[in-house]
Chains A and B, each alone.
Chain A
Amino acid sequence: MTRTRTPGISRRSTLALMGAGAMTFAAPWVARAQAKTIKIGMPTILSGRVAQLGTSSRNAVMLEVEKVNAAGGLAGRQIEMVIRDSKGQPQEAARVARELVNTDGCELMIDAEASSGAFAVHEVARDLGVFCIHTNSETSALTADPKQHIPNAFRTARQGVHDSIVGGSYAAAIAKAKGLKKWATCSPDYAYGRDTTGEFTLYLKRFAPDVEIISESWPKLFQPDYTEVVTKILQAKPQALYSCLWGGDLTSYIDQANIYAMFGQMEVFAVNMADYTALTVVKNLPKGIHSGNRYIKTFPATPENAAWGDAYKAKYNEYPTNWSWENATAIMLMAEAAKKANSADGKKIAEVLKGLTIKCPFGADGTVTMRGEDHTLVGYAIGWGTTIPQEPYVPEIKAGDWKTIFELEAEWKKSKGYT
């Protein structure tokens, strides 16, 4: 009988196999760490009603990545963006995010999802510990609520409560001047719509205590027909209407409300109107809609902002959107943090990013800051004005005051039990 295996050989083989196995598993990590390029994963919405915004996020990121790569990359490593379509579905956003890290080998993440998907991606970032910047979700709780806090996630999107403080005080001034006491609201029925509307009315009533909300409508996100909502508001006969509908939903709503002549019957405050994505698509844009600035190349009225808007238009043949500047800012901050940390490692970038102030075309004073305490962006240009149907669309924007925003935000956080 021939022995085909000896104990000694077996041990060696086993050790060799273990070694080979360890190398096999470790190799991608070793190779990844030493790779010249660094992959940044980016789930975003590239199909469906808000695809234009997702596309504009991708465009803005690519515009900035080109600049960073031309200047030597992220701490010496060229950036390779891996961008995937989540179709605007939370479960798909989470699946894509996980796959980007586990399968595609992305070391950093830009979560360019709306609020419907951002919370799902946030949980993936929590689970995998991957560095992540949320760029589009404006739901305040995402970074304001301490329960959501993780050391590896940040946000460069504007925060709903900031908009609501500025919008609420702006609207209250008009309400007082014009005697607008009866208000209606119409916002999409999901986290962003509910939170932002609640925060806006909170500050509207704070600055104009006589105001009463007499009707609320909560259409579904991406609802095709708003006829029943429009007629419901008309029945309530409010003097003013607030809405945080956005993208294709907002344009559908405006088109359908237009033929009921709704805009002549009440003052309309639509926070997401002043964005080129809506301004240029609505064919019969009503005059005099009040809106927060989203992306407008004339606000802040600086050469840097105008140049950035023009550079984007030159490259993509259309103006950027609100999501564009929020995503561009994420790359700007990452590049500066990596430079200061002299590393593209997510943990080191996160450490440096806390409290980092950079020069930025979208800053109220030419700079923006990643606030350390809650990992959220502050200091960006924020204001409200009224629309006209042609460029510059919102000729005069009244800038919000960040000192007031900080004071009221701190009060709001306390009232929510966040601090």
Chain B
Amino acid sequence: MDLDALAGCLSSSACLVTQTTSGLIIGMLLFLVAVGLTLIFGVLKVVNFSHGAFYMFGAYFAMTAYQLTGSFALAMLAGAAGTAVLGLIFERVFMSRVYGADVLMQVLVCYAFVLIFDDVVRMIWGPEFKAMGMPAAFQVMPLFIAGGVVPPYYLLLIGVALVAAIVLGLGLSRSRIGKVIRAAAHNPGMVSALGINTGLIYGGVFALGGMLAGLAGALAAPVRSLTPGMGFSVLIESFIVTVIGGMGSILGALIGALLLGLIRSFGSQGFPLFVEGLMYLFMVIVLVSKPTGLFGKEAA
């Protein structure tokens, strides 16, 4: 515990800028993964334990596209679009068969696919770690704001995640398809009776969730080493985010992810050996005071 360092940081504008940005980076990346998880749970009522694999595939798709084309934009597109297609296929072929099944069965099926997906990655890209490398456009000096250090690439990352959050929020609340998705989440029988193809909605939502996780993986690829199984740790943190925010709540995922990012960032100053513990402690505090999470709804 180093409370002096934390106090010093909180009273320094340079430290506040650097650590806040660092918290936002960690948080926004987590949000992209967690929001897919919470969306799938909210609509499909499935605890998608294999969600981290889509983050992993997104990173590998992006790296391969970048190696083939040298284009960062195409790499991001490949990461997002590739995992969307993968999500759709996965949902139609496998997950659709366990809807309504016991949660334990769903988790077991998903966990089996975590192992299968890891092996698939190992077979295609090899067991050794890979690096995509930072595109030349972002190999520039960081910005110095109020004495704090902010890398331009991370600003892009925060921006992309924010846009995704806004589009998703507006899309679900304002658009017709958003209303249908919300209706399907609330009462799938009624939606089906109205002649709307719920299978298509479920497939679409799963693909969207996969796409967001894939986009997170693609954005992380230039700065994180790629390895089979890389999705697991991010999955655990995403679960913490969704539990803190409230299962099924997009706003909850955003707030939960940002809070967790800031806890990690400032926690590393004051509690360097207890950063992981802080996250879990925070989760416990939230759940004890509000068992449904910050923005979760009480069961009817």
Contacts and interface: CB of A to CB of B under 8 A. Distances in A.
A227 B23 CA distance: 9
Nearest to A237: B14
Interface stretch (A45-53, A172-180, A387-395, A402-410): A45-53
A301 interface: no
Interface in B183-220: 220
A56 to B, nearest CB: 9
B26 A51 contact: no
Nearest to A225: B26
Contact-residue size bin, chain B (C-beta under 8 Å from the other chain): 35 or more
B69 interface: no
A49 B225 contact: yes
A51 B129 contact: yes
A332 to B, nearest CB: 25
B228 A283 contact: no
Nearest to A48: B229
Given A224-B234, A227-B26, A234 B18 contact: yes
A252 B18 contact: no
A211 interface: no
B225 A281 contact: yes
Interface in B235-288: 264-265, 267-269, 272-273, 275-276
B48 interface: no
Nearest to B128: A52
A235 B9 contact: yes
A361 interface: no
A49 B268 contact: no
Interface string A217-229: 1101011110111
A284 B269 contact: no
A282 B131 CA distance: 7
Contacts of B142: 259-261
B277 to A, nearest CB: 12
Interface string A358-394: 0000000000000000000000000000000000000
Interface in A17-68: 46-52, 55
Interface string A229-243: 101101100000000
Contacts of B269: 232, 235
A258 interface: yes
Nearest to A54: B127
Interface residues of A, number: 40
Contacts of A224: 220, 224, 230, 233-234
Contacts of A302: none
Contact of A51 (B25, B29, B227): B227
A256 interface: yes
A251 B225 contact: yes
Interface string B13-24: 011001100100
Contact of B25 (A48, A52, A227, A229): A227
B67 to A, nearest CB: 11
A247 interface: yes
B127 A47 contact: yes
Interface stretch (B38-46, B93-101, B133-141, B162-170): B133-141
A231 B22 contact: yes
B131 to A, nearest CB: 5
Contacts of B233: 222-224
Contact of A283 (B5, B122, B134, B154): B134
A51 B22 CA distance: 29
A247 B129 contact: yes
A225 B279 CA distance: 15
B130 interface: yes
A261 B233 CA distance: 27
B129 A47 contact: no
B245 to A, nearest CB: 20
A227 B224 contact: no
Interface string A315-357: 0000000000000000000000000000000000000000000
B291 interface: no
Given A224-B234, A248-B225, A261-B141, A255 B272 contact: no
Most buried by B among A55, A227, A281, A282: A227
Most buried by A among B130, B131, B222: B131
Most buried by B among A51, A55, A224, A249: A224
A229 B227 CA distance: 21
A310 interface: no
A52 B222 CA distance: 19
A110 B195 CA distance: 65
A178 B268 CA distance: 30
A49 B134 CA distance: 20
Contacts of A220: 276
Contacts of B31: none
Contacts of A92: none
Given A216-B272, A218-B272, A231-B18, A258 B265 contact: no
A255 B153 CA distance: 12
A390 to B, nearest CB: 15
A92 to B, nearest CB: 14
B149 A231 contact: yes
B264 A228 contact: yes
B161 interface: no
B151 interface: yes
Contact of B129 (A227, A235, A248): A248
Nearest to B273: A218
Contacts of A217: 268, 272
Nearest to A253: B225
Given A218-B273, A261-B141, A256 B131 contact: no
Contacts of B151: 259-260
Given A47-B122, A252-B223, 17 more contacts: A48-B228, A49-B229, A55-B128, A223-B233, A225-B224, A227-B22, A227-B25, A229-B268, A231-B149, A232-B268, A235-B18, A255-B223, A259-B151, A261-B141, A281-B225, A283-B133, A284-B139
The 5 closest A-B pairs by CB, nearest first: A283-B133, A52-B128, A248-B129, A51-B127, A228-B268
12 contacts: A47-B122, A49-B229, A49-B230, A51-B228, A52-B127, A225-B29, A228-B19, A228-B26, A251-B131, A251-B225, A260-B151, A281-B129
